[in-house]
């Protein structure tokens, strides 16, 4: 009798565990239309019966419990991006878990919030905290007498190795709640889903399941700090450039399929992977961010001409920038335009886009451009047409996030425009103090140097908010 009862209890426990539908892979991002809002994304193994997001200010939560504060249903006050759904990756017979997303609104900049996600009445996450980001549309915090600085963390080519976890953990150790958001300049998971088993050295092969494992790896950071991403070459996941049609070798597929289904980034139109958004305090720490796609060749046959949709977007976007609102303009893309490393040196996309667009960056005084692709760190002096030029754009390559291909430590002779370079893993931090002064720090992944920067520089505007920057070594 006892053995039968024990077997029944074990069977019930196993069944309960098997049908658990607790949301996971929680990740925050900014709402491109209004960056005072936050978008929350999550996944569940099964279709949720009644998805609910509960969130509220920590200071207003009784006994630190969430059950008695504002309840935000996907179909009511928490604005849905899309109802939870799956997507298919036909090449590998892969179907994703259910991906849900919800927009958290009416947040107060700088205030700490806590949230839970519930798929079904008994499947709910533990409470997770984040600090509401600052936007030019945000109301000033009543607890602050003057605008504070704005901090953003930068990662490139992260992957999912022990070095990737070091990058993630170093940012967490460096007080992640002090960051307004994280920017990843492409190449997140290295899933490489288009590759055959023979082409792939991952244990278990290359497939979209590695997107799942990357989201598991990134959740400890992504669930507490909003993250904005862009497309790299490892997000294409096709064998060639099919432009406006499917890859003949991969019927039913399209470029960036996994990326577009997992990351609710802003976009101008469907299958256009470039966008812009504003963060920071109006007139002081305000930044206008522009994210471009280095691989627009996969979706636009006019990608390298002034008739291309990305060029037209960039020109119009720069023309509309109001420096009295966002004194700083920062561009991010995957492939670097200035690179003295032997890896990915002067690749076709890099040269074509720099030739097409560099004059725009110089004309409109883009302050900095962050890139990845090369698995090393490099910072330029302000440079235009390969010559050091006061007030020109400073180019920072930050593709050293920890990916499986290892650091790229072989360089050509240093050109005059190269200010600092090193082929080791790490991450960077930008702090905007006011409308004319900012500071950049790059930190190696060496555990002993987590709080010490290996490279740092102060950026000062030349002629007020409309002028380009001068880089001053610290």
For CA atoms 339, 343, 346, 351, the dihedral sign is negative
Q: How far apart are CA 209 and CA 207, in angstroms?
A: 5
Question: Hey, how many other C-beta atoms are within 10 angstroms of the C-beta on 157?
Answer: 32
The full length of the chain comes to: 474
* Continuous segment of H or E residues that includes residue 219: helix 209-222
Q: Which residues contact 235 (CB under 8 A, 6 or more apart)?
A: 186, 187, 188, 256, 258, 259
Name the DSSP letter for residue 58: G
Q: Of 344, 373, 381, 427, which one is the catalytic site residue?
A: 344
Question: Hey, how many other C-beta atoms are within 10 angstroms of the C-beta on 127?
Answer: 15
SS3 146: coil
Q: Is 344 a catalytic residue?
A: yes
Task: Give CA angle at 30 (285, 130), nearest 5°.
Answer: 85
Quick one: how many helices (H) and strands (E) in the chain? 6, 27
Helices 348-363, 309-320: axis angle to 10 degrees equals 20
DSSP characters for 130-148?
A: EEPPP-TTSPPPTT-SSPP
Q: Which residues contact 16 (CB under 8 A, 6 or more apart)?
A: none
CA atoms within 13 A on the CB side of 325: 13
Which of 449, 446, 394 has its CA nearest to residue 420?
394
Exposed/middle/buried for 139, CB within 10 Å: 0-12, 13-18, 19+? Answer: exposed
Active site residues: 344
């Amino acid at each position: 009798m006892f053995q039968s009862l024990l077997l029944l209890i074990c069977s019930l426990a196993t069944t309960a565990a098997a049908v658990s539908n607790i949301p996971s892979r929680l990740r925050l991002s900014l709402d491109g239309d209004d960056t005072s809002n936050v978008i929350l994304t999550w996944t569940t193994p099964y279709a949720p019966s009644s998805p609910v997001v509960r969130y509220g200010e920590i200071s207003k939560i009784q006994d630190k419990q969430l059950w008695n504060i504002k309840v935000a249903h996907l179909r009511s006050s928490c604005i849905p991006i899309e109802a939870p759904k799956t997507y298919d990756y036909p090449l590998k017979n892969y179907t994703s878990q259910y991906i849900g997303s919800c927009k958290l609104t009416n947040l107060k900049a700088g205030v700490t919030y806590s949230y839970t996600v519930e798929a079904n009445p008994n499947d709910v996450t533990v409470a997770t905290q984040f600090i509401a980001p600052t936007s030019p549309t945000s109301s000033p915090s009543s607890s602050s007498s003057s605008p504070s600085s704005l901090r953003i963390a930068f990662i490139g080519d992260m992957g999912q190795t022990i070095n990737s976890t070091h990058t993630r953990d170093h940012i967490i150790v460096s007080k992640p709640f002090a960051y307004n958001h994280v920017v990843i300049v492409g190449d997140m998971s290295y899933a490489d889903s288009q590759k055959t088993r023979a082409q792939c050295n991952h244990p278990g092969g290359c497939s979209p399941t590695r997107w799942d494992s990357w989201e598991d790896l990134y959740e400890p950071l992504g669930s507490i700090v909003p993250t904005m991403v862009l497309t790299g070459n490892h997000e294409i996941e096709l064998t060639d450039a099919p432009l406006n049609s499917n890859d003949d070798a991969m019927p039913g597929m399209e470029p960036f399929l996994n990326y577009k289904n997992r990351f609710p980034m802003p976009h101008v139109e469907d299958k256009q992977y470039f966008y812009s958004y504003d963060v920071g305090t109006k007139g002081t720490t305000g930044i206008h961010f522009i994210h471009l796609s280095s691989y627009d060749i996969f979706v636009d046959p006019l990608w390298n001409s002034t008739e291309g949709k990305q060029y037209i977007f960039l020109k119009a976007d720069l023309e509309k920038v109001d420096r009295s609102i966002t004194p700083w303009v920062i561009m991010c893309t995957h492939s670097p335009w200035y690179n003295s490393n032997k890896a990915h040196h002067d690749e076709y996309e890099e040269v074509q886009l720099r030739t097409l667009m560099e004059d725009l960056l110089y004309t409109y005084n883009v302050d900095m451009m962050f890139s990845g692709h090369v698995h090393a760190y490099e910072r330029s002096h302000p440079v235009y047409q390969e010559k050091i030029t006061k007030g020109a754009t400073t180019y920072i390559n930050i593709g050293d996030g920890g990916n499986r291909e290892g650091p790229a430590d072989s360089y050509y002779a240093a050109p005059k425009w190269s200010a600092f370079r090193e082929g080791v893993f790490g991450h960077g931090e930008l702090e905007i103090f006011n409308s004319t002064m900012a500071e950049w720090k790059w930190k190696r992944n060496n555990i002993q140097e987590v709080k010490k920067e290996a490279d740092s520089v102060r950026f000062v505007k030349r002629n007020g908010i409309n002028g380009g920057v001068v880089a001053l070594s610290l």
